[in-house]
């Protein structure tokens, strides 16, 4: 896509608006790149004819003076987000023929802004997984190293941006499913405040935590896409100025297991923010270590309840993958008999405590900083180890329990693979955390 003279979605939109490039040319180049790197397996469905028809219509509209924020910009969409007339499989054989008759709210907003849906991105089946190995349509291979996972469950969306197949993508994040693959693939992944973006039309299984999120190559594009999806048009541009900002680092974050490369990258990130005028303060979130366990209990229980509604219309459960069945079994155990009181209610109490602790910590600072994952992307097949899975999710799940916005930005590397730093903000502080992200990613 760089052959077309742009480096970001914002620049591409501007070039299309002023006639320097046509939407047809932008879509054509994206489709060519998708074909050339098809081995990555980022897409379940490529909307070639639909995208070209939309691009031709947009080019005609531009000539008559009609332009939207994302006019002509190709976007990849995670395959659990409903698209009218286009298959929405949730990466499951159970939904292999499901074609929605209406668009999800976020798709309607994208179309209104002039964006073009280029394809439906691969994912872990029904968003159960953190490696994109649990898809009925095959594993997604990391664009940086094809032997490594792209992360999950929104791995196809993140990897499509990393591979320059598209400038923007959307996914969903329940316990880290945007932020973790963003870190593994070396892109920016934003999980907004819970409820900031309408989830209508998302085939979700954990309604109390799941949130539509964004993937982009920089923080400016993340703000642009978030503004479109949330309807919160922000006239302010990111300037990366963090002078006078206070960044909190919880002592529990530093006590968590992580590789030396992750530790060094995190230390370097705090130093860079200090060099740019921010101050670093120590805070505490004592229940941090209980967050992942509480998340698994609550998310499995919610998923069982949601899935019961799905299988009333799609009863062929023999088509489901093993990971989905395992999660359903876990949820059923959580909700059965005495386990409900011993597990679910205790996990719900932990969630309440974590929410209060994060809120209290953020009263002392403008944002919190921590790693995204404890390692870089793991080898395909390696994340099936429960310990490795824990290292991928422990920094992410507590933020979802608290309902706070967080962004993963690329920072540092491990054996040539990208690492990420997570910036956690107060509710509805997406602009602030993205601005800190811009400061960290500025060269």
Q: Would you write out the chain's pLDDT as a tens digit for each of its 443 residues? A: 454 445 799 999 999 999 999 999 999 999 999 999 999 999 999 999 999 999 999 999 998 888 889 999 999 999 999 999 999 999 999 999 999 999 999 999 999 999 999 999 999 999 999 999 999 999 999 999 999 999 999 999 999 999 999 999 999 999 999 999 999 999 999 999 999 999 999 998 899 999 999 999 999 999 999 999 999 876 679 999 999 999 999 999 999 999 999 999 999 999 999 999 999 999 999 999 999 999 999 999 999 988 888 888 888 889 999 999 998 999 999 988 888 888 999 999 999 999 999 999 999 999 999 999 999 999 998 765 555 555 678 999 999 999 999 999 999 999 999 999 999 999 999 999 999 999 999 98
Q: In this predicted structure, what is the pLDDT of residue 5? A: 44
Q: Nearest to residue 75, comparing CAs of 188, 202, 168, 182? A: 168
Give the separation between CA 122 and CA 116, rounded to whole angstroms: 18
Q: In this predicted structure, what is the pLDDT of residue 64? A: 84
Asked if 102 is an active-site residue, the reply is no
Look up the pTM and report it: 0.96
Give the separation between CA 302 and CA 118, rounded to whole angstroms: 32
Q: Nearest to residue 30, comparing CAs of 17, 16, 155, 18? A: 16
Asked if 227 is an active-site residue, the reply is no
Residue 62 and residue 17 in contact, taking contact as beta carbons nearer than 8 Å: yes
Q: Mapping DSSP to helix (H, G, I), strand (E, B) and coil, where does residue 429 land?
A: coil
Q: Mapping DSSP to helix (H, G, I), strand (E, B) and coil, where does residue 407 land?
A: strand
DSSP of 103-132:
--HHHHHHHHTT-EEEEEEP-SGGG--SSS
Q: In this predicted structure, what is the pLDDT of residue 391? A: 62
Q: Nearest to residue 307, comparing CAs of 95, 87, 81? A: 95
Give the separation between CA 107 and CA 90, rounded to whole angstroms: 16
- Any idea what the Cα angle at residue 255 is, between residues 252 and 261, rounded to 5°? 120
Q: In this predicted structure, what is the pLDDT of residue 65? A: 82
Q: Mapping DSSP to helix (H, G, I), strand (E, B) and coil, where does residue 443 land?
A: coil
Asked if 200 is an active-site residue, the reply is no
Catalytic residue among 23, 153, 216, 300: 153
Length of the chain measured in residues: 443
Strand 367-371, strand 246-250: pairing: parallel
Burial class (CB within 10 angstroms; exposed 0-12, middle 13-18, buried 19+) of 413: middle
Could you tell me which residues come within 8 angstroms of residue 35 by beta carbon, excluding any fewer than 6 positions away? none
Give the separation between CA 16 and CA 326, rounded to whole angstroms: 47
Catalytic residue among 22, 37, 78, 227: 78
Catalytic residue among 130, 177, 300, 408: 177
């Amino acid at each position: 896509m760089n052959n077309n003279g742009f480096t970001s979605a914002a620049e591409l939109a501007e070039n299309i608006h002023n006639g320097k490039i046509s939407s047809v040319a932008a879509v054509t180049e994206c489709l060519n790149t998708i074909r050339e790197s098809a081995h990555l397996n980022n897409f379940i469905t490529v909307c070639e004819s639909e995208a070209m028809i939309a691009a031709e219509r947009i080019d005609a509209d531009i000539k008559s003076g009609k332009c939207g924020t994302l006019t002509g910009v190709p976007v990849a969409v995670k395959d659990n987000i409903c698209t009218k007339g286009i298959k929405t499989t949730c990466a499951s054989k159970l939904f292999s023929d499901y074609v929605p008759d209406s668009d999800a709210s976020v798709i309607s907003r994208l179309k209104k802004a002039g964006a073009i849906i280029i394809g439906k991105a691969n994912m872990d089946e029904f968003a159960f997984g953190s490696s994109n190995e649990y898809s009925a349509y095959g594993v997604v291979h990391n664009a940086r190293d094809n032997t490594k996972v792209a992360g999950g469950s929104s791995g196809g969306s993140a990897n499509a941006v990393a591979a320059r197949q598209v400038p923007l993508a959307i996914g969903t994040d329940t316990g880290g499913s945007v932020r973790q693959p963003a870190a593994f693939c070396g892109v920016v992944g934003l999980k907004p405040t819970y409820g900031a973006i309408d989830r209508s039309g998302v085939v979700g299984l954990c309604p109390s935590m799941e949130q539509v999120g964004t993937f982009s190559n920089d923080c400016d594009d993340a703000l642009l896409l978030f503004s479109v999806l949330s309807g919160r048009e922000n006239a302010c541009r990111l300037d990366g100025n963090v002078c006078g900002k206070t960044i909190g680092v919880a002592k529990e974050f530093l006590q968590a297991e992580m590789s030396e490369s992750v530790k060094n990258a995190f230390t370097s990130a705090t130093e860079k923010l200090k060099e740019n005028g921010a101050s670093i303060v120590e805070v505490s979130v004592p229940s941090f270590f209980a967050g992942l366990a509480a998340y698994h209990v609550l998310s499995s229980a919610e998923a069982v309840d949601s899935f019961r509604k799905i299988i009333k219309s799609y009863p062929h459960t023999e088509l489901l993958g093993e990971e989905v069945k395992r999660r359903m079994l876990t949820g059923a155990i959580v909700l059965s008999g005495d386990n409900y009181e011993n597990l679910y209610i205790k996990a719900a109490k932990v969630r309440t405590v974590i929410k209060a602790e994060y809120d209290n910590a953020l009263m002392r600072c403008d944002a919190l900083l921590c790693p995204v994952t404890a390692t870089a992307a793991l080898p395909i097949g390696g994340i099936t180890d429960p310990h490795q899975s824990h290292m991928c999710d422990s920094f992410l799940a507590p933020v979802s329990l608290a309902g706070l916005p967080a962004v993963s930005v690329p920072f540092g590397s491990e054996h040539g693979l990208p690492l990420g730093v997570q910036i956690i903000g107060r509710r509805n502080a997406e602009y602030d955390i993205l601005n800190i992200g811009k400061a960290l990613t500025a060269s």
